[in-house]
Structure 1
Amino acid sequence: MESLDLRVLADVLAWKQSGHSVTLVTVVETWGSAPRPPGALLAVRDDGLVSGSVSGGCVEDDLIARIKAGEYEHLAYPSMVAYGATKEEAARFGLPCGGTLRLVQEPVLGTAWIEQVLQRTRTHQLVARTLSLKDGQVTLRDAQRGEKLEFDGITLTTLFGPRWRLLLIGAGQLSQAVAQMAGMLDFEVLVCDPREEYAATLQMHGVTRVMGMPDDVVQAIVPDAHTAIIALTHDPKLDDMALMEALNSDAFYIGALGSRRNQATRKARLAEHFDLTETALARLHGPVGLQVGAKTPSEIAVSIVAEIVQVKNNVTQSHGEALALSSLDIGDSRITACAVA
């Protein structure tokens, strides 16, 4: 599944091709508590139809009203607008805690750059788009994972495409659910499964099957600090091979499916047969995912993706704020009890 930003661009392209005028709005700076981060996109059609969002809805409503009233009819170049600069404005536009949004609004005149971005991201390329506020000129270039939005008041550079990478070992139902969710979060999703009876059913848009054995594939992709690796086959012969290489890599997240009992057995096996250190083994997230009482593949996928995002964003829950979770493992199942801390 494509990311939400690319969905906005696809809508803009379709609207322009059908003869509508479109204004594209990008969040470039925020202060205080803002509903959407820098880089968030909103497209507003001349009749008020919208795609994407930049706030909880009140800013969108104001922009829609202005566009329908014809205020943007003769907008020829990009310009800036701020919302919530005063306490009264913050309350009016639904920005919590006195938050402020600074936006760049631009008339979409040509669509060649949109077509290029959509084409290049379909092949998993990361693209940087630079917009000049002086004349509205747009340039595209290849980008690297780790780059961020840049805005100096004159030029705005935003990124489109997979900023993160996820390698899934296993092509089963759970892997497909995780892949679908990760794609919406700008992850390039790779799947390795030498078992043809599983991999043959892998037919998902935006997911790439990587041929080979798991350990060879992990080595081949050279995991970096923007790579997550998860072993989901529940087959030690496959999962252990991937983990053997992953735990000594620069991947920011490494997880494996299985109960606490299985994880303890796995760590002992990895330490004995692959000579992995305690430091390396401590990097393994298992049971994989946040404890949310998940039971179905879709619920488990939510817990896995949520934990990846938590680690990616360096977020930790304090003991006083979190729910106290205790788990009891019976075989390969996990029974979770939840009590208020």
Structure 2
Amino acid sequence: MYKLIIRPFLFLFDPEKVHYFTFSLIRILCKLPFVAGIFRSLYQINDKKLERNLFGLHFRNPVGLAAGFDKNAVLYNELANFGFGFIEIGTVTPKGQTGNPKKRLFRLKEDHGIINRMGFNNDGVAAIIKNLKRNKHKVIIGGNIGKNTDTNPEAYTLDYLAVFRELHPFVDYFVLNVSCPNVASDAKLTDKAYLVALISECQKENHRFKIKKPILLKIAPDLNTVQLDEIIDLVAETKIDGIIASNTSISRDHLKVSKERLEEIGNGGLSGQPIKDKSTRVIKYLSEKSNKSFPIIGVGGIHSAEDALEKINAGADLVQIYTGFIYEGPGLIKKINKTLLKK
């Protein structure tokens, strides 16, 4: 039904406007009597074989929603009804910001992909905490954090620490987002020495709390083997809890969409099926080269249960979906979990 009727209708309209329309629709539907229960009966699978224990957290199943979908933590309670094992909110910055100018979100229908240059648009940590105070604890919540666009390089770490400190009581784990191609910055965020310092400062802040929260690093799919070796060394040096592989890509290789259309769209991060193999390559390299010495969350181009299995077989402990959720609908989560049970 979703792919035959709902998706064709939604895809008639501007992607960003449809995103917020869908949010409003889901919220309204879940307020109606029995509707949330119907969603749960349709999409959730509760089976102990799907449960995972990672970073000291207990996941109901290994399929999560990647950051960027529920940026401001306004719909996570309702989205939990679709069967996710965890939901990542954000990217959250200290102050609210509007992000890059519109239009900034584009579908590549021929490629089952999306290009976005949103620019960390979010309401800021204070507003997002208000939303997280409505948490009904249906699902594990991750907090993806970043810096404000107008922050000077010498204050990047202060931005991360400010969000980390404020958000700490309200999320189950943190993700340091240093790999988004849609935020103006310099090479500092990809410099190993800086990343070691950033992670160390966040870990110091973490130890000021009675309950420590896992900290993960989200990396790009475009890293070469030398850079991936640096990531492995960084994990060993800092003892960070895990890696999310991967963010969106700046590559435009092997796309079906015309060059003219790509020029019209301009800059942005590519997600969806076109980056599936790049993401899996990164996961496999990190897993094999490190002798599976740290957990990996696999994300990028998962549009089917087979895609998710490919990530897991490559070395991912958990997986996340985003673009696949948009193209395939909420039934994708159930399909992945059913396939995992069979395997």
TM exceeding 0.5 = no
Q: Which has the higher helix share?
A: 2
Which structure: larger Rg? Answer: 1
Larger RCO of the pair (alpha carbons < 8 Å, separation 6+): 2
Provide TM-score, normalisation by structure 2.
Answer: 0.33
Q: Which has the higher strand share?
A: 1
